[in-house]
Amino acid sequence: MEADMILNQSFLKKFLDINFGVLMGTSRMLGVDISASSIKLVELSRKGGAPQSYRLERYVIEPMPMGALQDGDINQIEQVTDCLQRALKRMGTRQKKIVMALPLTSVITKKVNVPAGLREDDLVFQVETEANQYVPFAMDEVNLDFQVIGPSPDHPEEMEVLLAAARKDKVEDRVATAMSVGLKVMAMDIEQFSAQAIFSRVVGCQLPDSGKDKVVALIDIGASVTQINVLLNDISIYMRDLSFGGNQLTQEIQNQFNLSPEEAEVVKRNGTLPENYQNDVLRPFCKTIALEVARAIQLFYTSTQYIQVDYISLSGGCAVIPGLEEIISECTGVVTQVINPFFGMTLSGRIAPRQLKMDAPVLLTASGLAMRGFEHHDTY
C-alpha cells in the first residue's frame, strides 16, 4: 500500500457526498477517534487560523471493551455504540457534527499520473479509470476520492493525483455508529493523515526552526499497532504499520502476575502493580519498543534514499511511559520527544493541565480530526 502524500483539502469528501456549506459559521469542531483500546473525543474551538488561536474545550477517553475492534474494523457495533454513548455523556458536549477517520489499513491509496489540463468531469472519469487498475473490488462497492498533487516532476504534460478508495461497509459502520447516538459525520479522514495534519500545523512548532528540512518520524504506539509516518517539510515520505503495541505489555502483566486479560488491563491503567513490575516487566517492554523502532528506522533507510532521521516524535498510549523517550533515543541515536498536540493552544477552565499532560499523546488523531473540520470549513 502506498500512502506517501497528505491530502491537504477534505480527504474523503466524496466518500460521504458531503455538503460542507453547513459548516459555515461553526466555531467548534469535534474529532472522534475509535481505536481498539478506547474512543477519544476532542472538542476544539477557534478564532483565526494560527495555532495559538485554537482552544481545547474538552476531551474524554473512554475505554473500549476488548475485541470490539479487530484489525481496525468494528467487530461488535453494539459495544462500540455503547462506548461512544458513555463518552458523549461524560464529555457533556452539545456538538453533534463530527469528523471521523479510517485506519490506513482500510484504505487503498495510490499516486497516479493523468493528463494535465483536464476538465473536472474528464478528470473524475480518468481517475476512476486508473482506480480500476488498483482497487481489487467492484467500483460500486467502494467510496472513491482523489486529490490533485501537482505537475509531474518527470512528465510536464501530466499531473500527479493521489487516489483513495475504501469499501463502503467500512465507512458505513463508523457512520452508523455515530448516527445511532445522534451524531452527524461531516467528513471521513485517514488516521495517519489527520495526525500528520495537526503535527504540521501545531506540533512541529516544538522543533527547532519548526523542523524545516529535517526528517521527522512520527511514531504512534497504539494497543495493537504501531504506526510509522516519516515526514520531510510536512510531506510524508514513508508510512508503515507494525503489529506491535501496548497489548504486549498487558500480556506480559497477565503472564507475570497470573491475571485475566481484563484484570491485567485494569491494573496497567490504574498503576496498582507490585514493586517488581518496573524492573521485571515495564523496563524490558520499553527496550523491546526501542528495538522495534530502531528496526523500523533501519527499514526506512533501506527502502528509501534517505540515510538519516533527525527527530522522533512519540504518540499513543505507551508514549507516556516514564523514561521511554530516553530509552528510544539511546537505542536509535535520534533525538526523541513525546508529542503534545495542544502545544500553543489555550485551555478551557474544564481542562486539568496535569491530567492533560498524561493524556495528550493519546489524543493526537482525535485533535487532528477536529482541526481537519476547520480546514474543511476554510476550503468550502
The predicted structure's pLDDT at residue 380:
37
Residues 176 and 261 occupy one common structural domain: no
CATH code of the domain containing 267 = 3.30.420.40
The Cα–Cα gap between 364 and 206 comes to 15
The predicted structure's pLDDT at residue 57:
96
Report if residue 266 sits inside a domain: yes
> Mind listing the pLDDT tens digit of every residue in the chain (380 residues)?
332 233 333 344 444 333 333 344 448 899 999 988 899 999 999 876 555 588 999 999 999 888 888 777 888 889 999 999 999 999 999 989 899 999 888 888 888 888 988 888 888 888 888 888 888 888 888 888 887 878 887 888 888 888 888 889 899 999 999 999 999 998 888 888 888 888 887 777 778 888 899 999 999 998 888 989 999 988 888 988 888 898 899 899 899 989 888 788 788 877 778 889 989 999 999 999 999 999 999 999 999 999 999 999 999 989 989 899 999 999 999 999 999 999 888 999 999 999 999 999 999 999 999 988 877 654 43
β-pairing verdict for 184-190 and 158-167: unpaired
Report if residue 154 sits inside a domain: no
Residue 90, all three cell numbers: 461524560
The Cα–Cα gap between 347 and 356 comes to 10
Residues 186 and 105 occupy one common structural domain: yes
Residue 36: CB atoms within 10 Å: 21
Report if residue 222 sits inside a domain: yes
The Cα–Cα gap between 369 and 43 comes to 10
Report if residue 163 sits inside a domain: no
Report if residue 198 sits inside a domain: yes
Q: Which residues contact 303 (CB under 8 A, 6 or more apart)?
A: 238
Report the first-to-last Cα separation within the chain, whole angstroms: 30
Residues 223 and 284 occupy one common structural domain: yes
The Cα–Cα gap between 371 and 98 comes to 11
Residues 96 and 192 occupy one common structural domain: yes
Residues 262 and 369 occupy one common structural domain: no
Residues 197 and 57 occupy one common structural domain: yes
Report if residue 150 sits inside a domain: no
Q: What is the pLDDT of residues 88-117, one digit of tens each?
A: 999 999 989 899 999 888 888 888 888 988
The predicted structure's pLDDT at residue 5:
31
Report if residue 157 sits inside a domain: no
Tell me the residue range of the domain where 266 lies: 205-338
Which stretch of DSSP H or E encloses residue 226?
A: strand 226-232
Residues 312 and 296 occupy one common structural domain: yes
Residues 177 and 297 occupy one common structural domain: no
The predicted structure's pLDDT at residue 49:
58
DSSP-based three-state secondary structure for 312: strand
β-pairing verdict for 346-347 and 54-63: parallel
Residues 123 and 261 occupy one common structural domain: no
Residues 19 and 51 occupy one common structural domain: yes
The predicted structure's pLDDT at residue 31:
96
Residues 211 and 320 occupy one common structural domain: yes
The predicted structure's pLDDT at residue 1:
31
